[in-house]
Amino acid sequence: MSDQIFGIDLGTTNTALSYLYMIDKRASVRLLKNRDGKELTPSVVYFQPNSDDSIVGTTALDKYIEDPDRTFRWVKREMGNSPDWTISAGTEPLKINPETISARILKFVCEDAEKNLELEAPISNVVITVPAYFGDAQKRATLDAAEIAGLKASLIEEPTAAILDYILNLRQEGRLRNVFNEDRSTVAVFDLGGGTFDLSVCEVIFNKRSNGLPEILVIAKDGDPRLGGFDFDLTLAKVALKKAIRQSPTNENLKVLDDSFEELRNESRITDRGLRDVVAELVHTAEQCKELLSHHESIDFRIPRFRNVVASVQISRKEFEDSIDEYIERIKEVISRTITQARSTTGGELDSWSKVDKVILIGGSTRIPAIARLVKSTFQVTPSRGADVDAAVAKGAAIKGALDSGHLVLGGLQMTTSHAYGVLNESGHMTTIIVPEGSKYPHEYRHKYEVPFSLDVNLPLRIGQRYLGSTKQIALKEFHHPFLYTGDQLDISITVDANGMLHFKTVEPNSGECLEESILEGIGMSQGDKDKQSRVVGHK
């Protein structure tokens, strides 16, 4: 089994594990079923009362309705944001965060894979997918989760993984040059999942140096970290509640339920513990009804029984699609920013979506008819869903692992940064760009930095990140430079490694003294905390 390579799509809603193995030099990659016989494992963790044990997956999802206080969903949205939650667990409270919850999901799917394949040793190396817009802190959090789960992980962006799966399928079917009949083609990957939205644009290039194999160059990407099927679920539930209240305007119990639901939407919590299970069931019902509306013009939405109140309303597909219009507008904003970025990185060559040759749809939310219509009208081509929109990203992760290990050969895969990195001034604005957005990696970027005039002799040098397609900027690292004055120079280098993670170094050129050298870890967990959590999860 030494030739098996594992990839994991650690999704907001579901997690999937793929494995790739070689048979007579031919790669075969597929999703592995979990203990429930399913290829998709709900990204849900339920913590058992009075212990630090947990349940993951479908059983945990069932607990979400019964005991939502101890059930955690959609934590991918919080990766890198450092929220902490405390729950009762035996004699001492248990402190958890998105990384430790994600670690339990990773451990669960890997254990199922080990049992399914009857592996003699635990899985130790995996490739994990991340959204294209993830910054350093979010990637660091994903790697921390893998380490806690006992895994050595590398990362690949989800849209890039999807196109790897698409190309390998075409190659093995013998249709690669039939589909890509030009030496250079432009492909857009539209990835709308349970909690996040990504849009990437790639060039697929065939030339003499690639020996007939495609080179893949990512030229633009953007996304929205809080836009996906979960938002559509909440919106549909809100529509159902409002409609039920209009039908029974004197029913105060429905209004109480509506108030608690608004609290969940706005503050991600519900104060009234007695209402939490009802709201959880309401969200679960909305998720099921949303899927039905992709195939039916209307559905009956049954409001969960609450204080002996039973309500049912009919909702049409048009009502649902009208209700998510604000999210469709946000998708359009991402589309607009992405073509602007593509125009810049191609020197104006790609200045219209009409010049895109192929569009690949990824993520379950692309099944919504309104989304499909938006894609077709924007790109003016019939999109391809690939072999399986739910499996492509996980499979692409395993393919990336095979490329890295040399089991598979591709003409080339060139990644680009989602964000710009540089020096921030006193006001927090990026005045010196060292790594422009869309820069290739892995690569080291160097810059001679001149210390600016300031009345504050203790003013630190701050390295920052500017979010793609916006003016939003955050400080990632700062340090003081002693004995440096206005006009003095520093040699600054920022290395972007194969995972898209940053390494920073600055040298005083006259003395050669290295003033600072570190990985920009953002808000990553300390090694001590990771070791402690790893012991709790069961790997040390």
What is the rounded distance in angstroms from the CA atom of residue 380 to the CA atom of residue 372? 12
C-beta of residue 462 within 8 angstroms of C-beta of residue 424:
yes
> What topology is assigned to 420-509 in CATH?
Substrate Binding Domain Of DNAk; Chain A, domain 1 (2.60.34)
Q: 195 and 76 in contact (C-beta within 8 Å)?
A: yes
Pairing of strands 358-362, 184-192: parallel
Residue 106 CB burial class (10 angstroms; 0-12, 13-18, ≥19): buried
Which comes out higher in pLDDT, residue 235 or 388? 235
Residues 6+ apart with CB under 8 A from 192: 227, 228, 229, 331, 362, 363, 365, 366, 371
Question: Rounded CA gap, 506 and 514, in Å?
Answer: 6
Per residue in 35-55, pLDDT (tens digit) is 999 999 999 999 998 788 899
Q: Who has greater pLDDT, 524 or 8?
A: 8
Taking every pair of C-alpha atoms in the chain, what is the biggest distance, in angstroms? 79
Token pair belonging to 94: 């248990």
Q: How far apart are CA 402 and CA 164, in angstroms?
A: 11
3-state secondary structure of 344: helix
Rg value, the chain, Cα? 25
**pLDDT score for 523:** 58
The residue count of the chain comes to: 540
Q: What is the pLDDT of residue 44?
A: 96
Whole-model pTM above 0.75?
A: yes
Domain residue limits, the chain: 5-156+526-537, 229-325, 420-509
Assess whether pLDDT exceeds 60 at residue 1: no
Mean pLDDT taken over the chain = 88
> What's phi and psi for 139, nearest 5 deg?
-65, -40
Task: Taking residues 294-309, report their average pLDDT.
Answer: 90
Question: Terminus-to-terminus CA distance in the chain, angstroms?
Answer: 25
Given a cut of 50, is residue 376 above it in pLDDT?
A: yes
Q: Are 254 and 310 in contact (CB under 8 A)?
A: no
Q: Which two tokens stand for residue 164?
A: 């790897």
Model confidence at 25: pLDDT above 90: no
- The predicted-structure confidence for 338-350, as pLDDT tens digits, reads as follows 999 899 888 899 9
| Residue 418 zone, left/alpha/beta (φ > 0; ψ -120 to 50; rest) | alpha
Give the Å distances, CA to CA, from 193 to 109, 199, 264, 308.
20, 11, 21, 36
Average pLDDT over residues 490-510: 89
Between 102 and 501, whose confidence is greater?
Answer: 102
36-64 b/e with 16+ CB inside 10 Å = b? eeebbbbbbbbbeeeeeebbbbbebbbbb
Nearest to 395 by CA among 167, 143, 125: 167
**Element housing 494 (H / E):** strand 489-496
Exposed/middle/buried for 116, CB within 10 Å: 0-12, 13-18, 19+?
A: middle
Report, at the CATH architecture level, how domain 229-325 is classified. Answer: Alpha-Beta Complex (3.90)
Residue 146 makes CB contacts below 8 A (sequence gap 6+) with 103, 106, 126, 128, 152, 153
Task: Give the count of alpha carbons within 13 A of 364, CB side only.
Answer: 19
Enumerate helices (H) and strands (E) in the chain, giving the number of each.
Answer: 13, 27
| CA distances (Å), origin 120, targets 4, 21, 42, 114, 127 | 13, 16, 26, 8, 20
Tokens representing 333 are 């904003």
Checking if the pLDDT of 308 tops 80, the result is no
User: What is the spatial distance between Cα 163 and Cα 396, in angstroms, rounded to a whole number?
Assistant: 7
Q: Rounded mean pLDDT of 464-486?
A: 74
With a pLDDT cut of 90, the percent of the chain lying above it is 54
Given its phi and psi angles, is residue 438 left (phi above 0), alpha (psi -120 to 50 degrees) or beta?
left
Least confident span in 239-248, 284-293, 507-516 = 507-516
Residue 469 has pLDDT above 60, yes or no: no
Helix pair 229-247, 252-267: axis angle to 10 deg:
160
What pLDDT sits at residue 299?
A: 97
Architecture of domain 5-156+526-537: 2-Layer Sandwich (3.30)
pLDDT for 468 equals 61
Full DSSP string of 14-38: EEEEEEEEEETTEEEEEEPP-TTS-
pLDDT of residue 112: 97
